[in-house]
Chain A
Amino acid sequence: MNDHPDLRLSRREFMRLSAAGVLTGASVPWFESLASAAVKRPRGKSCILLWMDGGPSQQHTFDPKPGGEFKSVPTAVPGIHIVEQLPKLARCMKDMSIIRSMSTEINDHYDAKYYLHTGYKRAPAFEHPAVGCIASSQISIPEGDLPGFVTIDAGNDKGNGGRFYRSVPAYLGPQHAPLAVQSPDRGLENLRNDSADLDARLALLARGEARFAEERPLPAVAAKQAAYERAVRLMRSSRARAFDLDEEPDWLRDAYGRHRFGQSCLLARRMIEAGVSFVEVFHRGWDDHEGAARRIHARAPWMDAGMSMLIRDLKMRGMLDDTLVVWMGEFGRSPGDGGGHFCKAWSTVWAGGGINTGIVVGKTTESGKNAGAAVEERPVSAPDYIATLCTVLGVDPRQEVMAPGNRPMPLADKKATIIKELIA
């Protein structure tokens, strides 16, 4: 059963992890639930993915270079520097880790978005499940009022950045498709239950739907029904209040920043508190072909405020150890002004989730005219990243799910190596 040596944690390692104590060993993988029948929530972790669509520049954020356009400044962790444009995040460095050695092969927007969301390269006539859907299928509360996976649109700067990738559950089942929130301010306004005869109307609808499904047992019909049932359940649930940002005090909304991104981060925290397992906040427009400096100058204040406040808010509520926050895009930007796509050497940031924080994993070249053009230490592939994310959430990435054509597919590619630096 253990024929993938890099993913294997021995029994001794497990013992060591748990002996390390509850605080330091908060990331102990693969919880075992003792639930008798219906497992309520097999694991206790959740994740917020901050997706900077289009590919954010690493040298204008978390991997500054000498002589670069942005000045590099110290953080709360001695020896780790990031750009001066992110002073609030710099003070959160003890709760974050930077992976500077992402190396992911694909420079095309859509294919890279697919690769970094699924851990698999796009293939003809085959769809792989997105990581949010994996989390929903593995660690969410089955039959809960809330979906296991929610996406929040945090707006966009400009139109480009390639076709937008939508998370698909594929063979995990339609119930794991994300619930899409179009804007953090509006929440679920279309889901308000204002109608007195709603139950009667829904019953009528259900009868019609049942007959239709009986006659046409197709996946699309099941998917629509799953979405519908979920929406109705949510509409009736007191937990739907989680979508209403007006319940938050003004001072906290200010602290997150009065920008769609900050408010989306705040909504994401509310989702996690209400029991959602995976929230993806995406902001589009990071495809800075005319150079990243000017655009990131303008974005840095709200990104700094929103992301740092999310980390602090989770921390002060005692939720950070159980909530992994990941910041990334589908690739980075070319060295220098960041005008081009660059998949060879780029950065992601991980916070919370019980991982080891206050560290930098990997290294890119430091000197020369093309500083940062290559990974010098510890390259991290897309499958490595997905397998590590699964492990941190308590999901065994080797676990196989039956895909179409009786094809057992592991959740993460078998070639994956876990980033052990991040895990206990």
Chain B
Amino acid sequence: MKRPVSRVLRVLLACSLAGAFPAVGAPGEKSAAAGADPVAKIESAGGAVRRIAKGSDALEVDFQFGGAAVTDDHLGVLPALGPVQVLRLKNTRITDAGLAHVGSLKGLKRLHLDGTAITDAGLKHLAGLKELESLNLFGTGITDAGVDALRALPKLRQVFIWQTDISPAAVARLRKDAPGLEVIPDPEAERERAESIGSVSKSALASAEAALAQAKKDVNELAPQAAQLKQSFEAAKALADKAKAKAADARKQADEDARRIEPAVKDAEAAARRAAAATGDAALAAQAQEKARLVAELRERAEKSRQAGDVAKAEDDQARKAFDEARSRSDKAGRAKRVLEQAEVAVASARERVDAATSDAVPLSRAAAEPRSVQKAISNQ
């Protein structure tokens, strides 16, 4: 039951939205006015129109998979569409002329012009986009001259300039003039990044090498004694086992002796009471005395066996410690080769990282980023 109900709700929602923003066009409206419908025009070039979110009238127009089919002509319908907040024109065939239409989308927040043929002249059309937050110029021919146009955009927070002709000096100036603006990639940040990776990699290599030296030492010094260490470890184990048994016996004896005190005390107290009741009965008095002596004797014995137990426990602890040490040395000797192998892998990996620390310091400008075939052609001359 749930599914049909939710579908009905969705259709109702869609209808109510369409009523509120008739310019956008609702499902099914296409056939009625195919030529004039901006959504149909956009879709005919492989584009798509979506709402940014449910309950919002803001639109996203996505041409990024339309490619060469998308031209300046398709941008003409945008102003009639409604409040466009996001416009994706990546890798389309639009030009500077088309940006005149884009410049009239006053609510535009995010604009993708990456991989298009736009130039510095085209960027001037964007001066009125006071809401623009993000601008993608990746892989375009924008130069330092185009950077000036960016200063006119008060809310711009993010600009993508990889593989353009913008110089590091222009980026530095822009960063100074617009401190809230993130320039991606930022040559300065890239340099810091490479430095940090380099220094972390170097210090990791140093500690890996230190660990390797220790591992080598263990292999040289401990490993040859492995058999001997194993023997002494086994001997220590036998001693420890013996000490443990002895400590357990002593403990048991001490407990047993301690347990015997209480009944003897009671017995002695009863005898004392009887002797006190029958004053003058010498036999009873002698009996009470004897029982009191027995209690004293038991107490003494219990104290002795408790002391013996403590001694045995101390011996056991010592034997256990000796055993643990022997075991750890023996283990270390046994594992030394494996640890060394691992330390060698760790050093190799750390060295690889030091060598590759700058392997991802990629060229930032378009000229330096020419593809392989072109580079080859040049280097062969």
Interface residues of A (CB under 8 A from B): 1, 3, 11, 14-15, 17-18, 21-23, 25, 28-44, 71, 73, 84-85, 87-88, 90-91, 141, 144, 246-252, 254-255, 257, 275, 293-294, 297-298, 300-301, 304-305, 308-309, 312, 315-318, 400, 408
Q: Which B residues are CB-close (under 8 A) to A84? A: 200, 204
Q: How far is the CB of B316 from chain A (nearest CB, A)?
A: 23
Spot the interface stretch: B98-106, B156-164, B299-307. B156-164
CB-based nearest A residue for B82: A34
Complex interface bits, B95-116 against A, C-beta within 8 A gives 1, otherwise 0: 0000000000000011010100
B325 interface contact, C-beta 8 A:
no
Find residues 136-158 in chain B having any chain A CB closer than 8 Å to their own CB. 136, 138-139, 157-158
27 interchain pairs, CB-CB under 8 A? A1-B9, A22-B86, A22-B110, A34-B24, A36-B25, A36-B28, A37-B43, A42-B50, A43-B50, A71-B204, A85-B349, A87-B197, A87-B353, A246-B372, A249-B369, A250-B372, A251-B369, A252-B362, A257-B359, A297-B349, A298-B348, A300-B349, A304-B353, A305-B356, A312-B360, A317-B162, A318-B136
CB distance A33 to B207 under 8 Å?
no
Complex interface bits, B341-379 against A, C-beta within 8 A gives 1, otherwise 0: 110011011001100110110110000011110010000
CB distance B184 to A316 under 8 Å?
yes
Q: How far is the CB of A321 from chain B (nearest CB, A)?
A: 8
Q: How far is the CB of A395 from chain B (nearest CB, A)?
A: 13
Question: Cα distance A304–B201 when bound, in Å?
Answer: 12
CB distance B25 to A34 under 8 Å?
yes
Question: Cα distance A35–B18 when bound, in Å?
Answer: 12
CB distance B207 to A315 under 8 Å?
no
Known: A305-B359, A318-B114, A318-B138. A36 touches B29 (CB 8 A): yes
CB distance A36 to B54 under 8 Å?
no
CB distance B2 to A35 under 8 Å?
no
The number of A-B residue pairs with CB atoms under 8 Å apart is 192
B27 interface contact, C-beta 8 A:
yes
Question: Cα distance A271–B172 when bound, in Å?
Answer: 34
CB-based nearest A residue for B199: A87
Known: A34-B49, A251-B362, A301-B353. A91 touches B9 (CB 8 A): no
Complex interface bits, B13-57 against A, C-beta within 8 A gives 1, otherwise 0: 010010000001101111000000101100100111111111110
B76 interface contact, C-beta 8 A:
no
Question: Cα distance A321–B5 when bound, in Å?
Answer: 34
B174 interface contact, C-beta 8 A:
no
CB distance A31 to B349 under 8 Å?
no
CB distance A88 to B43 under 8 Å?
no
CB-based nearest B residue for A39: B48
B59 interface contact, C-beta 8 A:
yes
Given A15-B55, A297-B342, A317-B114, 12 more A-B residue pairs with CB atoms under 8 Å apart are: A1-B2, A14-B56, A18-B55, A32-B54, A33-B50, A40-B65, A87-B200, A91-B197, A144-B65, A294-B341, A301-B353, A400-B3
CB distance A44 to B362 under 8 Å?
no
Q: Which A residues are CB-close (under 8 A) to B28? A: 36
Q: Which B residues are CB-close (under 8 A) to A28? A: 52-53
B58 interface contact, C-beta 8 A:
yes
Question: Cα distance A308–B55 when bound, in Å?
Answer: 37
CB distance A91 to B349 under 8 Å?
no
CB distance A316 to B56 under 8 Å?
no
Q: How far is the CB of B2 from chain A (nearest CB, A)?
A: 7
Q: Which B residues are CB-close (under 8 A) to A34? A: 24-25, 39, 49-51, 59
Known: A297-B342, A317-B114, A318-B136. A247 touches B371 (CB 8 A): yes
CB distance B162 to A71 under 8 Å?
no
Question: Cα distance A400–B362 when bound, in Å?
Answer: 45
Question: Cα distance A44–B27 when bound, in Å?
Answer: 20
Question: Cα distance A40–B50 when bound, in Å?
Answer: 10
| Among A36, A87, A305, contact of B43 (Cβ-Cβ < 8 Å) | A36
B260 interface contact, C-beta 8 A:
no
Q: Which A residues are CB-close (under 8 A) to B5? A: 1
Q: Which B residues are CB-close (under 8 A) to A254? A: 359
CB distance B160 to A316 under 8 Å?
yes
Q: How far is the CB of A32 from chain B (nearest CB, A)?
A: 4
Q: How far is the CB of B118 from chain A (nearest CB, A)?
A: 15
CB distance B62 to A41 under 8 Å?
yes
Q: Which A residues are CB-close (under 8 A) to B184? A: 315-316, 318
Question: Cα distance A114–B234 when bound, in Å?
Answer: 48
Q: Which B residues are CB-close (under 8 A) to A36? A: 25, 27-30, 37, 39-40, 43
B92 interface contact, C-beta 8 A:
no
Q: Which A residues are CB-close (under 8 A) to B369? A: 249, 251
CB distance A250 to B375 under 8 Å?
yes
Q: How far is the CB of A77 from chain B (nearest CB, A)?
A: 13
CB distance B62 to A44 under 8 Å?
yes
Q: Which A residues are CB-close (under 8 A) to B346? A: 293, 297
CB distance A22 to B55 under 8 Å?
no
Q: How far is the CB of A269 from chain B (nearest CB, A)?
A: 13
CB distance A71 to B207 under 8 Å?
yes
B134 interface contact, C-beta 8 A:
yes
Question: Cα distance A316–B50 when bound, in Å?
Answer: 25
CB distance B49 to A44 under 8 Å?
no
CB distance A91 to B345 under 8 Å?
no
CB-based nearest B residue for A309: B360
CB distance B349 to A249 under 8 Å?
no
CB distance B60 to A316 under 8 Å?
no
Question: Cα distance A246–B356 when bound, in Å?
Answer: 22
B120 interface contact, C-beta 8 A:
no
Question: Cα distance A84–B53 when bound, in Å?
Answer: 41
Q: Which B residues are CB-close (under 8 A) to A318? A: 112, 114, 134, 136, 138, 160, 184
Q: Which B residues are CB-close (under 8 A) to A23? A: 109-110, 133-134, 157-158
Question: Cα distance A81–B207 when bound, in Å?
Answer: 18
CB distance B133 to A31 under 8 Å?
no
CB-based nearest A residue for B114: A318
B185 interface contact, C-beta 8 A:
yes
Question: Cα distance A48–B366 when bound, in Å?
Answer: 27
Complex interface bits, B65-98 against A, C-beta within 8 A gives 1, otherwise 0: 1000000000000000000011010000000000
Q: How far is the CB of A94 from chain B (nearest CB, A)?
A: 11
CB-based nearest B residue for A141: B65
CB distance A249 to B375 under 8 Å?
yes
Question: Cα distance A39–B139 when bound, in Å?
Answer: 29
Among A25, A252, A257, A301, the one with the most B-chain Cβ atoms within 10 Å of its Cβ is: A301
CB-based nearest B residue for A398: B6
CB distance B48 to A33 under 8 Å?
yes
CB distance A31 to B50 under 8 Å?
yes
Q: How far is the CB of A15 from chain B (nearest CB, A)?
A: 6
Complex interface bits, B203-219 against A, C-beta within 8 A gives 1, otherwise 0: 01001000000000000
Known: A1-B6, A33-B50. A251 touches B363 (CB 8 A): yes
Q: Which A residues are CB-close (under 8 A) to B345? A: 294, 297-298
CB-based nearest B residue for A144: B65
Question: Cα distance A324–B207 when bound, in Å?
Answer: 35
Q: Which B residues are CB-close (under 8 A) to A30? A: 53-54
Q: Which A residues are CB-close (under 8 A) to B62? A: 40-41, 44
CB-based nearest B residue for A29: B53
CB distance A31 to B342 under 8 Å?
no
